[in-house]
Each structure stands twice: as C-alpha cells, then as structure tokens.
Amino acid sequence: MKTLGLFIVGLVGAVLIYATIDFPPFGDPGSPASTHVSPRYIEKSLEETSVPNVVTSVLADYRSFDTMFETAVVFSAGVACFVLLRVPSRRASRPRQYRHRLTGLTFRVKDGREINLPLQEFVPVDSIWTPHDFIVEKVSRYLIPFIQLFGLYVIAHGHYSPGGGFQGGVILGASIILLSVSHNLRTALRRMGEKTSALFSPIGVLIYAGTGFLCMVLGYNFLDYQALAALLPGGPIMARSHGILLVEIGVGMAVMGTMVWIFKNLASRGLYDEGL
C-alpha cells in the first residue's frame, strides 16, 4: 500500500510539473496577467469598490468565490483534525500533576484519582512539564490583549493597509495559543472552550456565504455586494466596501477558530485535559 501511495503521488507530481510547460515565463510582460488582468484591477479597484487596498478588493470582491472556498477548506481542515484526533472519553488512569504556587513544589497523583486542593494554593500542570516561569507567564498575560486588539485592527483595517481576515484571524488564533503555551491548556480552555472554537469556524463560513445569499435575496448575483446598498448607507460602491468588510470578519472568525481547534487537539492528543 505504501508503494502504491508513493507511485500515485509521484505520478500526479510529474503530471503537474509537465503542465507548467504551458505557463508563461516568470515576469513575462506579454502574459495575460500583465497585459489586462493586473492593469484592470489597479486602475478600477478604487473606483468600483471604494477600497484603496487592491489586494483586499481582489481577494474579497473580484475573486470572492475563490476566497470563500479557501475559507471552507480551512474549516474542513479543522473538522478533519477533530475527527482523527478527538478522544470522546477521558482516560481514567492518566496521572495528574500539581504545582504549589508559592514554593513551586510539584507532586503527581497516579491512577487518575481525584483530590480536592485549594485552587488559590495549587494549580494543575501538564505531565510533560516545564519549570514554571513567572516572567514568561506575566509578560504573556499582559501582552495577549494587545495582540488581540492588533488582530481586530488588521481585520477591520484590511481595506486600507496590508491585512484582512486571514492575517487577522491568524493573529487572534496565535494569541490563544500563546496563552496555552505560556500558562497551560486548561487556562486557554477557560478563555475559549472547545465548543466556542469549534463554532467559530462554521459561523465564519456562514457569514461569508450568508452575505452572498443575502445579495441573491435582494435580486442581485451571489456575492454582488452592491445589493447591500438597499440596507446600508453610502450608495452601491460603498456597499461593496461594506460587503468586503463583512466577509473579512467571517474569514477572520473561521481562521481563528480553526487554528485554536487544531492546536488544542494536537497539543492534548485529543484528550483536552493536558497540553504539551
């Protein structure tokens, strides 16, 4: 089976490499992309979408179908990791480890037995344990809100500067992962639980697709944002800008939720009780 898989991968790779012969040379000024595609976007983007950032207008307007399915692929990756890794029941025999907050002394409880400890004095730590670092924990704690604020800025300001839903979603997801790495997985789960991260992904995709269906309900084509002018102020061109912002929010939610969802399953081996 392994040999067959390698043969199929090699065959598909050879076909793809052979297909590149028909591509225009890199940097060819006579290629279709250089003669009419790129100039069309550069010259008409601001006029048609009221978005100064050409990259955002191309991804979320001119190529909105492609970006929507890219968002769906991100969501599918999260579902695949969940199906493959998530363990439905916890292992009762798994040992637990605790650390005393003041002294740093740690001890392990074997055979999965539960004990009641004052949470203000003891904190559970992961089995694959690294020494507690007060500086790393506190710096990360104060830095994470600013990282999240910057992630929201990147999503909301993607119209006018480098950024957008994918970039902002990655920053927001990284902030939750940083919380998990600097503290522990349980702390991150208290801030953003499994159900929350799992719901962010489909909700983001639904916001994107729902914007397109709303345009159809209003009598326009799918993802033709000028239809939103009937609901939003500013005219058809500004409505396209607002429509791009809506789908960027959906992309950011999907990317953030999927990143956190995948990390939690990988870090805990699908158990959600202890992380790395």
Model confidence pLDDT, tens digit, residues 83-120: 888 887 655 456 667 776 666 666 666 655 556 666 56
**Residue ranges of E strands in 141-238:** none
Separation between Cα atoms, residue 228 and residue 206, nearest integer Å? 17
Tokens of 259: 């990143």
Q: Could you tell me the end-to-end alpha-carbon distance of the chain, in angstroms, rounded to an integer?
A: 33
Q: What is the pTM of this model?
A: 0.79
* Of 72, 260, 53, 101, residue with least CA distance to 176: 260
pLDDT score recorded for residue 48: 85
Separation between Cα atoms, residue 107 and residue 247, nearest integer Å? 49
pLDDT score recorded for residue 92: 44
Q: Which residue has the higher pLDDT, 256 or 25?
A: 256
Task: Tell me the domain boundaries of the chain.
Answer: 49-89+131-267
Separation between Cα atoms, residue 240 and residue 228, nearest integer Å? 7
216, pLDDT greater than 90:
yes
57, pLDDT greater than 80:
yes
Are 186 and 124 in contact by the 8 Å Cβ rule? The answer is yes
In whole angstroms, what separates CA 50 from the centre of its chain?
Answer: 26
3-class secondary structure, 192: coil
Q: Which residues pair with 126 in a beta bridge?
A: none
**Residue ranges of E strands in 76-140:** 96-100, 106-109, 122-125
Of the candidate ranges 24-33, 45-54, 124-133, 237-246, the one whose mean pLDDT is the lowest? 124-133
